[in-house]
Homo-oligomer: A and B are copies of this chain.
């Protein structure tokens, strides 16, 4: 790629971004779009009309205000941007003002064209002459940059830990702090699970045991209730329409006034049937106990004791883990035994690895099937159209990339599915695990697939011969510098702008408004961390690895993170509603991914100094990854335990605070029922029912 082409691309994409920004600023002021652009405020019952100056509004709230409105997870999501901005500000200054001129002054590539026709490679390390002593500046830059990144990582981990502790201290008593999920309960014959649990905990934790609720095998019931809810929603919609003719936005509805009375009766009858089924199922469910229970304790420290000390003599029985928030519980998959869950986990890992490595094989096959000739055979009647030059160009040029995008869009849901197979008990844990999976998938299929062009098997092979990795990467990575610069500009910038624009929700909203939908099934969305975090971390990886190879990438990445910072702040304040609170557990993914990026950069450095005939620098770079990994190991010891569980000091202090609190007896009453299965709550569809849906998602608020 030459410089002028890059500038053109930057121009086009800046234009696109500007277009999106303008459209957003216009569209968000229209009252009909409030469920797209400020669903959060709608869900919270606020009806403030959005005003201009959204950038200012997104910028204004202080860290504390942002933390209190959007939760710790969103806060940490934003810390990721702040951390990246710091890293790449430093990297950008060093890269642009020191490394870039040195690269440009080299003559290895002997590119004699004028400035605007220069290949971008002239700005990369490839242009520095072999064996040149100027490479020592790159060497020093690698060391200094690593030091700065590690310092920032350490600072950030410490800062987030302190926020996590502070958040814990400021929180009200919450059921999940007092409750454990206990699985693999060995129920003796002739006894029920509930009796066994009560007996065991009264025997071994007499002073702290509070209550428990056994889990039931309720997946059939769940599907019945889901059906009923859908029917009920439809039913209320029909009733509302006939009753409330005064409602707005009735214009445009054409096909809705058919057999109103009939269908209303029909739905009512079906609802009654299902209701009976549900009651029958509920009463028979008492016997379908699963050997798992939520056990609540009188204090946080009491729960921690039962959590940390192995309970039974057999370590595969009485397995305790922290309970998730009540509305965050993922109810299926409770019935599995220890060994089944263990196998499920193994299967998920194997499938995930296979999917990641072999992803491009089915994509390539499907893309291969969409050649023009093939299409002509399948759809002979289209032959004349397909032979038009324009159509054929569009199809051959666009279809393969469309197919790739289609396949890619399936990846996060598939990873979510695999993670739930692993037997996690909460939506937050599933999303966290899927986040790691998607991250590896992205790094492999975007970074390594582009760097090591060739078959999937070839790429795996490279990593089976550890000795050759630095050399191969050092040859391949700099060669792709201009591709990734273009990638940041096209994919990165556009993604972030379209995040603001919310194309799909906007279209859905438009559809609803035209075809008499009335937003009855409106739900404020939550941010899909498992697809957003990997996408952003990929740019951190690109920035870190290309920092000393092709520093020209850094300004574009800086622009990406600046845009991202302000846009995601806006989205988190106005669009996304936090669905759960992990207390910042996502940070360890960010930390690990950054460490991986650094080590990858070091391996490439070792290779490239070798290629550039500077074996001494290559040898002296070897301690760099080792030191980085040791630093990581220290961070794991220093900070990670705080993200796994709270220390005794915090728990006991917090428990002592509660002792003076007069609301605790009320809380204990609630605690007993906090984790009862939603499907077992009484169901009544002729009035309001608030089973199953969480308060945040309750559709009746609109």
Contacts and interface: CB of A to CB of B under 8 A. Distances in A.
Interface of A: 165, 203-204, 301, 304-306, 308-316, 339, 342, 346, 464-467, 630, 634, 637-642, 645, 647-652
A649 B467 contact: no
Q: Is the interface of A mostly helix, strand, loop or mixed?
A: helix
A634 B342 contact: yes
Contacts of A313: 165, 642, 647, 649-650
A310 B641 CA distance: 8
A519 to B, nearest CB: 47
A316 B638 contact: yes
B308 A652 contact: no
Contacts of A314: 638
25 contacts: A165-B313, A204-B648, A204-B652, A301-B309, A305-B305, A308-B309, A309-B645, A309-B648, A310-B645, A310-B647, A310-B648, A312-B647, A312-B649, A313-B642, A314-B638, A315-B637, A315-B640, A315-B641, A315-B642, A315-B647, A316-B638, A339-B634, A342-B637, A464-B466, A464-B467
Contacts of A649: 204, 311-313
A322 to B, nearest CB: 13
Contacts of A346: 630
Contacts of A311: 647-649
Nearest to A316: B638
A649 B203 CA distance: 9
Contacts of A464: 466-467
Contact of A309 (B305, B637, B639): B305
Contacts of A309: 301, 304-305, 308, 645, 647-648, 651
Contacts of A306: 648
A300 B651 CA distance: 21
Contacts of A315: 637-642, 647
Contacts of A310: 641, 645, 647-648
Contacts of A312: 647, 649
Given A309-B645, A312-B647, A465-B465, 9 more contacts: A203-B652, A309-B647, A309-B648, A309-B651, A310-B647, A314-B638, A315-B641, A316-B638, A465-B467
A637 B314 CA distance: 10
A17 to B, nearest CB: 44
Nearest to A205: B648
Contacts of A651: 309
Contacts of A466: 464-466
Contact of A316 (B308, B467, B630, B637): B637
A192 to B, nearest CB: 20
Contacts of A316: 637-638
A689 B304 CA distance: 46
A629 to B, nearest CB: 11
Contacts of A204: 648-649, 652
Nearest to A463: B466
Nearest to A652: B204
A652 B202 CA distance: 12
A650 B311 CA distance: 9
A29 B346 CA distance: 61
A567 B339 CA distance: 42
In order of increasing CB-CB distance, the 5 nearest A-B pairs are A308-B308, A315-B641, A310-B647, A309-B648, A308-B309
A662 B165 CA distance: 45
A235 B695 CA distance: 85
Nearest to A301: B309
Contacts of A301: 309
Contacts of A647: 309-313, 315
A204 B637 CA distance: 23
A689 to B, nearest CB: 41
Interface centre among A310, A312, A637, A650 (most CB of B within 10 A): A310
A617 to B, nearest CB: 22
Interface centre among A203, A313, A637, A638 (most CB of B within 10 A): A313
A54 B666 CA distance: 74
A632 to B, nearest CB: 13
